[in-house]
Chain A
């Protein structure tokens, strides 16, 4: 799983900018899907987002208290972590300074992963 981490979720982008990002992300995912290595994913909206804290305290986002936010994720069918890392390197999120893509194996219940 490739998780997009944005350093500052409070930044407001213009609609044109968002559209451009969307396009770039779609092209990136399309490239992975063209290799038959895409298995799913979602963008995450900030609309109506909440944070639930310890003791059931609920606050509204965007989140001043949190340094990083997760903007979305995709799942890829990579043969190795290295291959997944190569996919991640193309992620348009990385064009933003301070942003990162976290590469994680999805735990299977087969005792191996």
Chain B
């Protein structure tokens, strides 16, 4: 790896570690300082390495510089020192009694604890995701803005408010107590699930970005699986569904960056290793009595790794969607359930139920209707695809819909 590739690579893997450890050390009220120190460390690497070459152990170099920068800041700034002293609740903030610990163990612990702190129930989901992307995934403000289809200013404001909230709520960067893990874990899993969905289903037109979001969500979920206290059935179910879905990343990417629909995908491009991992974690998820929406979604995702259109497959999927909707309604589940219904009971039955869904502002509603009318009334189907186009903001989705219309024209 040459230097030009090395620094971005290290930034991806090391920024979050340094930021988490420093934030834990400095206290949550100094979160932004920790982020800045981590960023400055990389800036220093960029400057120094360009002139003097890459040191033999670049990671160790980064850790040393991060520590020095923190030390310098403390030495320089009396006021800041006082603040930190309060956080550490001890008189001696010199490093002898309380060193900044960048050992592997503390890095892992700090990231996990940061995850719990960031996913604090007092923050709205979008702020949780934003902070997670910033601190635990090392995303820049601009990248986060792209991920949220928003602008830098809005994201900056959102993050500032979120940090402020964590400060006023005095959220501790620590592992929740044994009685609390399950409850706190719920909002952590919601955030990770949303982060993954953001990547998998979003209207972002940048393929690389979408995959990146999914992979980060998986990496963070795996942090939970790696820790015995959080290696719980719901976490395994969530990880399993992420594995199943991401197994199709390669297959759904066209040469020109367009999305290749499930039915048109080349199965040989499905990642069998990820499918096998998904199956493993699904079996882990089956231990114990917990039965969550992640279990149901993992079940649905499992069946989607079986390409053949069997009766068994669609009955199972319909069954899972029926249960999922009873547990928690969502428009996308309602639409998918109706699609599964059409596969089990035919399009006519599904059309009747689709009409009752009351989702006439949702582009996917018209996509569904278009699919259901395809072959029954092609003219009508075309109109529905047109309606979907007028409602969607995504270029990729529009391409897919236009292709569907074109196919209808060819078929006739």
A40 to chain B, nearest CB (A): 8
Instruction: Report the separation of the CA atoms of residues A99 and B329 in the bound assembly, to the nearest whole angstrom.
Output: 30
The B321-353 residues at the A interface (CB cut-off 8 A) are 321-323, 325-326, 329, 333-334, 337-338, 341, 345, 353
What is the number of residues of chain B that contact chain A, defined by CB distance less than 8 Å? 19
A26-B319, A30-B321 as given contacts; A35 in contact with B326, CB under 8 Å: no
Q: Given the known A-B contacts A35-B334, A36-B329, A36-B334, are A30 and B322 also in contact in the complex, defined by CB atoms under 8 Å?
A: yes
| Nearest 6 pairs of A and B residues by beta carbon | A30-B322, A33-B325, A34-B334, A36-B329, A26-B322, A33-B326
Q: 14 A–B contact pairs at CB < 8 A? A: A23-B319, A26-B319, A26-B323, A27-B341, A27-B345, A30-B321, A31-B341, A33-B329, A34-B333, A34-B338, A34-B353, A34-B356, A35-B358, A36-B329
Q: Give the distance in Å from the alpha carbon of A107 to the alpha carbon of B315 in the complex.
A: 37
**Bitwise interface map of A from 5 to 47 toward B, beta carbon under 8 Å scored 1, else 0:** 0000000000000000001001101110111101000000000
Residues of B within 8 A of A34 (CB): 321, 325, 329, 333-334, 337-338, 353, 356-357
A residues less than 8 Å from B334 (CB atoms): 33-36
**Residue B195 CB within 8 A of the other chain:** no
> A interface vs B, CB < 8 Å?
23, 26-27, 29-31, 33-36, 38
One of B318, B356, B358 near A30 (C-beta < 8 A): B318
Count CB-based A-B contacts (< 8 Å): 47
- How distant is the Cα of A104 from the Cα of B393 in the complex, in angstroms? 44
Q: Are A27 and B322 in contact (CB under 8 A)?
A: yes
Q: Are A30 and B326 within 8 A (Cβ)?
A: yes
A26 to B334, CA, bound (A): 14
A31 CA / B353 CA spacing, docked (Å): 7
With A35-B334, A35-B358 as contacts: A29 and B326 at CB distance below 8 Å:
yes
The answer to whether A27 touches B325, judged by C-beta atoms less than 8 angstroms apart, is: no
Determine which of B315, B319, B321, B356 lies in contact with A35 in the assembled complex, contact meaning CB atoms within 8 Å.
B356
| Bound Cα distance from A3 to B353, whole angstroms | 22
- Cβ A29 vs Cβ B322 within 8 A: yes
**CB-defined contacts of A35 to chain B, threshold 8 Å:** 334, 356-358
